[in-house]
Structure 1
Amino acid sequence: MNKSASTILIEESNYFLEVYLDPFNNRIRIDDYRGNTNLLLERAEELARKHQVEKLIMKARSEDFIHLYEKGLQPEAVVDRYFLGSDAHFFSKFYTVERKKSDHWITEDGMIHSIYQLDTAIDKPFPPKEYELKKADESCSEELSELYSKVFQIYPTPLHDPEYVRKTMKEGTIYYVFFQQGKIVSAASAEVNSFYKNAELTDCATLKEHRKYGLMKIILRDLEGELKRQGIFCAYSIARSLSFGMNAVLFQLGYKYRGRLMNNCYIYDKLENMNMWVKNLANC
């Protein structure tokens, strides 16, 4: 199996599966399904064995919650209103002892506790005038890739490749960026699921020397505004559990903590746990 990720659709007489094969992160994710849950889970496990992955993830509906427990999967996180207003439960199954171990879990629990003590009545940041916020287009793809290469040694998707950035834009991902002296210094995106009306706020990156101006909060607020204009109210974000700054930004923007995905993906410089944060944009 090569290192590029791909989505496959499996349609049988009594079930349907949409599966994201992710060899780089050594995992398989079931993004959508319907039909006979026993049979589709068997097929998912077959794929996990075939591709020798270490983790299987399933975005499950509330109705299947207990059944997935019986099948040996465990809940890790929830996204309120993900499926056109119904909750999605992120269940996982691990296939190696190493993938199920975490040295940082207790530290990360403490960090969530600390973050919930922060003041949420934070003034809106006003960066210096030379910072200019824009919605990115395909002409920005080279510079965006450069930014992600500088901020992340390792990233779970190939954002270091400008062609990949262009492809995501064509598929509906929205990028907002801050320019300073003509160069992109901060960026984030909203990966829109137009069928289920949800969006993942992701790809958050700011060059170190520009982090003191609160640029990311401004970008995320503008992305939220764009989503609301499209009638999308379920917004969620998955942040590195060891990154106090990013988790704090999400909390202060009104996101609620909804669980932790263990050893979820390779990001920054290693395989990391990721915190789930969720916000109902209809309430703001």
Structure 2
Amino acid sequence: MTTTTDTVTTLGGSTVQHGPLNDRIYLMHLDAGDLPGLPDRLDALAEEKGYGKIFAKVPASAQGLFAARGYVTEACVPRFFQGREDGCFLAKYFDPARRLAEAGLGDVLAAARKKAACDPPADLPEGFSSSPATPADAPAIAGLYREVFATYPFPIHDPAYIARTMEENFRYVCVRSHDRIVAVSSSEMDAEAENVEMTDFATHPAFRGYGFAARLLAVMENAMQDAGMKTAFTICRAASYPVNITFARAGYAYAGTLVKNTNICGSFESMNVWYKPLA
């Protein structure tokens, strides 16, 4: 397992993640005050570091400015910001190999669409329960992530990172078998944009096949509606049948594919974006 992680920092008032692990820049939060110059600053950073891709999450009103600088739109989520303005997931490639998606992704998407909104999640089997995680759970959660993911775009293998995000804008939910955490997921809230990313799903290999991800997703959706979030979305592994089917069955709509976007489980993988209105 690599211990390399990328850096989250700021360019002006905007938040970016960048580094060699994902070989990219990720514009996580755009401050409109940084326009129109931010795309040029991102280009300069990518060229300085030799990154293969820039990935940007921006309001639709900024899409044209980025398109004029060579960005393409890979996904779009309606009413992503404050339940009003669409959100665009944009990409600019510096390494031609990063433009080439893996084979078979269309088959995964077709299989997921066949399962769209077909069944509610099953109840947990006897002996299992779901509950919010606390900082005391951080070592066990990080340990589970280490077992499931050889690499990951954020340092979820680190208990200190898990505990810190709990104090910020993340909420974690666990499935437990007695005192053991056997599955986990998190919701990352953007209070300003009133959207939430459903992410970091992991189930211990010995406990797969019980539908824990679907149950965790349902629990998180209820909590996020109560928290006032208007749109839920996920950026999930495009090659994974189970995770794409989980979101399609829960009523999420497909928004697009981010090509060779994320270093996860030891290699660069394309990621699908799915979304669902919560309000």
Q: TM-score scaled by structure 2?
A: 0.92
Aligned with residue 110 of structure 1, among 92, 107, 118: 107
Q: Distance in 2 between matches of 1:20 and 1:117?
A: 35
What is the alpha-carbon root mean square deviation over aligned residues?
1.8
Aligned with residue 226 of structure 2, among 229, 235, 238: 229
Aligned with residue 177 of structure 1, among 168, 174, 177: 174
Unmatched segments (≥5 aa) in structure 2: none
Q: Distance in 2 between matches of 1:82 and 1:72?
A: 23
Q: CA deviation at 1:203?
A: 0.4
Aligned with residue 219 of structure 1, among 208, 216, 220: 216
Equivalent residue for 2:57?
Answer: 59
Bigger drift between 209-218 and 182-191 goes to 209-218
Equivalent residue for 2:6?
Answer: 5
The structure, 1 or 2, with the larger RCO (C-alpha pairs under 8 Å, 6+ apart) is: 2
Post-superposition, which runs of at least 4 consecutive aligned residues in structure 1 deviate over 4 A? none
Q: Secondary structure at the match of 1:116?
A: helix
Q: Distance in 1 between matches of 2:264 and 2:185?
A: 15
Equivalent positions of 1:9-88 (< 5 A) are: 9-11=10-12, 16-30=13-27, 31-35=29-33, 37-85=35-83, 86-88=85-87
Equivalent residue for 2:131?
Answer: 134
8 A contact 1:125–1:218 mirrored in 2: yes
Letter in 1 for 2:97: E
Q: CA deviation at 1:125?
A: 0.7
Q: TM-score scaled by structure 1?
A: 0.91
> Kindly tell me: are residues 228 and 123 of structure 1, through their superposed partners in 2, closer, same or farther at Cα, counting changes over 3 Å?
closer
Q: Distance in 2 between matches of 1:75 and 1:268?
A: 26
Unmatched segments (≥5 aa) in structure 1: none
Bigger drift between 212-221 and 239-248 goes to 212-221
Q: Distance in 2 between matches of 1:170 and 1:240?
A: 27
8 A contact 2:6–2:153 mirrored in 1: no
8 A contact 1:198–1:233 mirrored in 2: yes
Q: CA deviation at 1:3?
A: 4.4
> Kindly tell me: are residues 254 and 108 of structure 1, through their superposed partners in 2, closer, same or farther at Cα, counting changes over 3 Å?
same
8 A contact 2:116–2:245 mirrored in 1: no
Percentage of pairs with the same residue: 27
8 A contact 1:200–1:236 mirrored in 2: yes
Equivalent positions of 1:120-199 (< 5 A) are: 120-199=117-196
8 A contact 1:145–1:165 mirrored in 2: yes
> Kindly tell me: are residues 203 and 119 of structure 1, through their superposed partners in 2, closer, same or farther at Cα, counting changes over 3 Å?
closer
Q: Distance in 2 between matches of 1:170 and 1:118?
A: 36
Q: Secondary structure at the match of 1:223?
A: helix
8 A contact 1:201–1:220 mirrored in 2: yes
Bigger drift between 141-150 and 50-59 goes to 50-59
Aligned length: 275
Aligned with residue 208 of structure 1, among 202, 205, 210: 205
Q: Does 1:93 align with 2:92?
A: yes
8 A contact 1:126–1:213 mirrored in 2: no
Bigger drift between 136-145 and 55-64 goes to 55-64
Q: Secondary structure at the match of 2:233?
A: strand
